[in-house]
Chains A and B, each alone.
Chain A
Amino acid sequence: EAGVAQSPRYKIIEKRQSVAFWCNPISGHATLYWYQQILGQGPKLLIQFQNNGVVDDSQLPKDRFSAERLKGVDSTLKIQPAKLEDSAVYLCASSLEGKNTEAFFGQGTRLTVV
């Protein structure tokens, strides 16, 4: 079974530029998550979708970050404009619906803002 696919793997941009990340979850997984992992810290949830609806975006910096999940499948996360502190690994994960179901993670996109 194919895993969670993310692209690009690496991205370097200058501050104030914009960037977008793409995620393709495991087929049939209704729930999709975007996490931010800053170096030396654990992943922090940015946004959770169930199908194409937002369940939790309480920690998403909405002045600069946006995310969408069209048709309840693929998702994109955008940052505009980027700041130096946005340098991190952005992880996408997906899971089946229901309590305590396992979340499967992609390899992540490493963003460096210079």
Chain B
Amino acid sequence: GDSVTQMEGPVTLSEEAFLTINCTYTATGYPSLFWYVQYPGEGLQLLLKATKADDKGSNKGFEATYRKETTSFHLEKGSVQVSDSAVYFCALTRSSGANSKLTFGKGITLSVRP
């Protein structure tokens, strides 16, 4: 079945550091890939997405490129801020007819210190 694997956490960085969070997936066909973020006390929010190979999703300074050859969708940000502290989830969906469920990774907690 479909699965998403994220690097183990938690991750602690200083403000303005470079961030990479690894994500790889297993799925047949051509899934769409997502990064969701959960800020403290809030619900899951879509951060960015890519729907086909070599697409780059970007939002709020975060980027991720859909790499089909390595089945990866790593999240990067050049300079993190304290406000980026949150839990990040990588996810995929393979829309099949009306079925559009998301398959999530375990999530990783990012803490950014001033």
Residues of A at under 8 Å CB distance from B? 3-4, 31, 33, 35, 40-45, 48, 50, 55-56, 91, 93, 95, 97, 99-108
Contact = CB atoms under 8 A, between A and B. Distances in A.
A40 to B, nearest CB: 7
Interface residues of B, number: 26
Given A42-B4, A100-B51, A108-B43, A31 B100 contact: yes
Nearest to B105: A42
Contact of B99 (A55, A101, A105, A107): A55
Contacts of B100: 31, 48, 95, 99-101, 103
Contacts of A48: 99-101
A41 B71 CA distance: 21
B43 A42 contact: no
Contacts of B97: 55
Contact of B102 (A3, A43, A99, A107): A43
